[in-house]
Amino acid sequence: QSVLTQSPSASGTPGQRVTISCSGSYSNIGSHTVNWYQHRPGTAPKLLIYNDNQWPSGVPDRFSASKSGTSASLAISGLQSEDEADYYCAAWDDSLNGPVFGGGTKLTVL
């Protein structure tokens, strides 16, 4: 069982906006920044958002993220078929003294 909790699945149609949530605790999300990764099976995971809401170069601003207390969320607007992937949240955890990941949310574009 993952330390950070994500819904196992989400879906939307092209053009829609979808939100993926991530729940943690004070020792991780409540005290440290959150990062989001996109992972298409068979490929290298890709950093999508870092330090709560920063975009790496090349990531479109259709992807945005926010955090409140011990929860965080990733929003994808203008959904595209290429967005179909697994999405993971992650944050440093003081108990582990290392990063912890969510269990991943499989996004399906209908």
Partner 1 sequence: EVQLVQSGAEVKKSGESLHISCATSGYKFTSYWIGWVRQMSGKGLEWMGIIYPGDSNTRYSPSFQGQVTMSVDKSINTASLQWNSLKASDTAIYYCAKVGPGTGYYFDYWGQGTLVTVSS
The reply to whether 30 sits near partner 1 by the rule CB under 8 A is no
Give the residues across from 39 on adjacent strands.
Answer: 86
**At closest approach, how far in Å is the CB of 49 from partner 1?**
9
Interface with partner 1, residue 13, by CB under 8 A: no
Q: Which is nearer to partner 1, 78 or 108 (CB)?
A: 108
Place of tokens 């005290």: 31
Q: Quick one: how far is CA 80 from the chain centroid?
A: 17
Of residues 84-103, those binding partner 1 (CB under 8 A)? 88, 90, 92, 96-103
Residue 21 lies near partner 1 (rule: CB under 8 A):
no
Within 8 A by CB and 6+ apart from 81, the residues are: 14, 109
Q: DSSP class of residue 68?
A: E
Asked if 99 contacts 49 with a C-beta cutoff of 8 angstroms, the reply is no
Binding site residues, partner 1, CB under 8 A: 2, 32-33, 35, 37, 39, 43-47, 50-51, 56, 88, 90, 92, 96-104
